[in-house]
Amino acid sequence: MAENRYEVEAELNKSIALVLLRSCPIARIAYTGLDGAPRVIPVGFLWTDRTLDFWTAPTSAKVAALESDPRVAITIDTTTQPPRALLIRGVATLTTMPGVPDEYVAASMKGIPDSGRAEFTSQVRDLYDEMTCVSILPMWAKLLDFETVIPSAVAELVRNKTR
């Protein structure tokens, strides 16, 4: 489990982590709602080699919640075997800007077929007058690749069975 800046960067720079950060179209972001209840939402995202960024409407419930409590947890994973999961905890910074940032469009393209990209871009640019960028600085990270690293509880079960 990576907890200091050097360890977090080393964890995020592992080859499997970089594949997940650069190619997975969706991250699941957990945060605390204004009512104190947990929330998990799927978002398209962009990894900047320092922060995980996603964009939303400035009036969205998550913007108000993250302004109140910027702590988040993130999962980026696969459904393949062996499963791959990158777990991140961090702090969100919010910046509202006019229009639709090119970075939002780039992040969205990971999940849109080539044939639908121009139409999507046009529709989104017509819809939003402004967007809020939620930029998450990782403060903790753990890669589970289920080959070299497995959850600690599973590792303990394996150790106990082989004694």
Q: Write out pLDDT tens, residues 134-145.
A: 999 999 999 998
pLDDT reported for residue 100: 94
Listed in sequence order, the DSSP H helices in the chain are 5-12, 15-23, 61-68, 102-109, 117-127, 152-161
Q: Is 144:84 a contact under the CB 8 Å cutoff?
A: yes
Residues of the chain where predicted confidence (pLDDT) is lower than 50:
none
Beta carbons within 8 Å of 3's beta carbon, 6+ residues apart: 139, 140
pLDDT reported for residue 40: 98
Give per-residue pLDDT as tens, 60-94: 999 999 999 999 999 999 988 989 999 999 999 99
**pTM as predicted:** 0.86
- Please name the amino acid found at residue 120: F
pLDDT reported for residue 2: 58
Q: In what order do the strands lie in the sheet with 27-32?
A: 38-43, 27-32, 71-77, 85-98, 130-144, 52-56, 46-47
pLDDT reported for residue 3: 67
Task: Write down the architecture of domain 5-161 according to CATH.
Answer: Roll (2.30)
